[in-house]
Structure 1
Amino acid sequence: MNGSAKRWERARAHTRACILEAAAEAFQSSGYDDTCMQQIADLAGYTKATVYAHYRDKAHLFTAVMNLHASSLPEPVVRAHPGADLKEELDYVSLEIQKLAQLDVCRRFCGALRHSVTGTTPYAELWSAYLAPFRAYICSALVRNGVERAEEHASLYLQLLLQANSLQVAPQPAINAGAMLSVFHRAFQQ
């Protein structure tokens, strides 16, 4: 490949990266359904024709953005805490979810899903699978402590953590997640 072709490829890659960044921002704030290609073009600083030259339609652009986010999510690591009481175990998961909430990729991924209706099913399922180790950890802790309906309570606790950290992927009824988490902690104190 000659120097001119290399410069062309670098410019093309830069344009695609700018478009993806603008689309990620637009999808996070407005969702798929309320974002248009012109809005993405304006945010990226390119014409709509340039955006279409790189992505043939909004669905392909959304897929590219969400796949990029999904591939950038850190590997979920849940460590065993032998001898920890239930409160310590619940606090541990809470801290891990707080760490996820600090990651731009997690906020963008969840924001795009929360504000979208169209095309979200595979990504909502991926997010659920991503969170499965945390749910299983909570469930195991509840079972070890003799809590009835451990799976149901584990799902509820995780849902509250996600809502408290703005990582839920579907609109939730307005509740005070902090107060609910406090109630949850007190309910399972030994």
Structure 2
Amino acid sequence: MEDYYSFFLAVHVVFVISWMAGLFYILSLFIYHTEANTKEEPARSILVAQFTKMEATVWKIIATPAMIISVLAGSLMLYTHPYLFQFGWMLVKLGFVAGLLVYHFICQRMMKQLRAGNYTLNSFRLRLWRELATIFMVAIVFIVILKNAVDWIYGLVGIMGLATVIMMGVKFYKKVREKNNH
């Protein structure tokens, strides 16, 4: 199994990229789906039906399979190199991965609620929620690449700074959209 570590790593990286793409795209669909609910008929029914179909496709064909393969390949990497559990950075990374898995299943619940027509988050809050995936992604990449090169305090401050910049960007985008809609 030792000889397969690089193969598992390559598969892991490819499918993490696919997983993140699926998560980013599904949240964009949720935003458009939510905004479609404010349209007049028959546009509302047509758009909601289309977004529901697109969400199901992205979830079943991209996001969930990519998540499963990412976790499986990552697990196989750890199986072939169990000493990685001895490093603090790996444990922190796995904590963020656990958070990303929770995020994934919350998105699944959101999709089911949207399909049932009883989801109440507005498009602004969904945009903020989408950016949480960005924070997870950035944290994981920096932890894996920098490992112990950065003090965890600075890393935490950096993540909080990134979250603040992203939130300000989403709020700015909201103001621009509101201005253009009036």
TM-score (norm 1): 0.31
- TM-score, normalised on structure 2? 0.32
Say which one has the larger Rg.
Answer: 1
Relative CO higher for 1 or 2, CA cutoff 8 Å, sep ≥ 6? 2
